[in-house]
Homo-oligomer: A and B are copies of this chain.
């Protein structure tokens, strides 16, 4: 019923995994599943932690994310805007909107992510998408692919 936290943003009985199985489109990021959801309420609570200078994948998908930062600070791209984020800030990622988290403020960026257990796989940008994204100089400078 209660899953106590341990030192350093880890939890009893929760394994720390790589963010994704493979790829070079992310950097220095781990994933922990804090709550798996049930058949009645198929919603997962995950904790992602990006080390200083790391980033998540630049991607989009049909499913939505609700995120709340619980460690450190960084920035997030949502659609065509870059937002500073820090502890207790809430981020809603709408359906099919490009997004990327970066721990680019000299600190860890750790956040909870609430997501449906039943969800589509993310898509990464193809050349046409990158052209669109890079039409903003600020976004061009921000994204890591």
Contact = CB atoms under 8 A, between A and B. Distances in A.
B35 A89 contact: no
Contacts of A4: 85, 89
B76 A2 contact: yes
**Among A78, A91, A114, which residue has the most Cβ atoms of chain B within 10 A?**
A114
A95 interface: yes
Interface of A: 1-5, 9, 11, 34-35, 38, 40-41, 43, 45, 63-64, 66, 68, 70, 76, 78-79, 81, 83, 85-95, 112, 114, 116
B83 A1 contact: yes
Contact of A70 (B2, B88, B89, B114): B88
A74 to B, nearest CB: 12
A3 B92 CA distance: 8
A120 to B, nearest CB: 11
Contacts of A76: 2
B5 A88 contact: yes
A72 to B, nearest CB: 14
Contact of A83 (B2, B9, B45, B94): B2
30 contacts: A1-B78, A1-B81, A1-B92, A1-B94, A2-B89, A2-B92, A3-B89, A4-B89, A5-B86, A5-B88, A5-B89, A9-B88, A11-B88, A11-B90, A34-B68, A34-B90, A38-B64, A40-B63, A40-B64, A40-B95, A41-B63, A41-B64, A41-B66, A41-B116, A43-B43, A43-B116, A45-B114, A68-B112, A70-B88, A112-B112
